[in-house]
Amino acid sequence: MRFVILLSALLFSACRGETVEPEIQAPAFETNYVVANDESRLGFAATQEGVVFTGEFTDFEALIYFDPEELEASRVLVSVPLASFDGGSTDRNSNASSNIWFDAKKFPVAVFESQLIREDGNAYIAQGTLMLKGQTKQILFPFKLNETDGRTVMTATFPINRTRWDVGQSPWNTEGYVGLDVILDLRIVADRAP
């Protein structure tokens, strides 16, 4: 089976209403799947003072080429405007763009780009880089794919340590107030293109 998924949303990053265009050269992928934006979600869970809270990034753009018979040619590129952060409270949302956290005015977009995709049992792992807050670090992006009646659903749940990218600088770079690990919880739904 061979498919390509194009997840397209309006890609913008705003601080106090200012639109910033990210400087990303997306590869030209042939696409035969189209995302169902209203059913897809880039969610996360974290802890604040020991209490779990959830949120999401409401805007994103992703190109995913995947062929289980040709994994060496498969690729994932996901870009997320950090101003689309929604942490479930006005206080979290207003603080997230500050230089202590995302520094979204200076670094408006986070980008994951795979370098290698391999099979892992009944799932897959994309090894690649996450560029966030001006720093590029290696991560593993595990995901599962299910297809029913021509509709493909990609799901992924995995932790990242925010301090690797200096998200939450001193005094927020310890477990004392906000947990170091953030659990990303992704669900991308796509249909075959007409």
CA dist 27 and 25 (Å) reads 6
Q: What is the mean pLDDT of residues 144-158?
A: 89
Higher pLDDT, 5 or 145: 145
Per-residue exposure over 107-136, b if at least 16 CB sit within 10 Å of its own CB, e if not: bbbbbbbbeebeeeeeebbbebebbbbeee
Q: What angle do CA 132, 130, 175 make, to 5 degrees?
A: 65
- The encoded tokens of residue 37 equal 């934006």
| Per-residue pLDDT reduced to its tens digit, 16-34 | 344 444 444 555 556 666 7
The dotted CATH code for 3-192 is 2.40.128.110
What distance lies between CA 192 and its chain's CA centroid?
Answer: 22
Each domain of the chain, given as residue ranges in start order, spans 3-192
Q: What is the pTM of this model?
A: 0.82
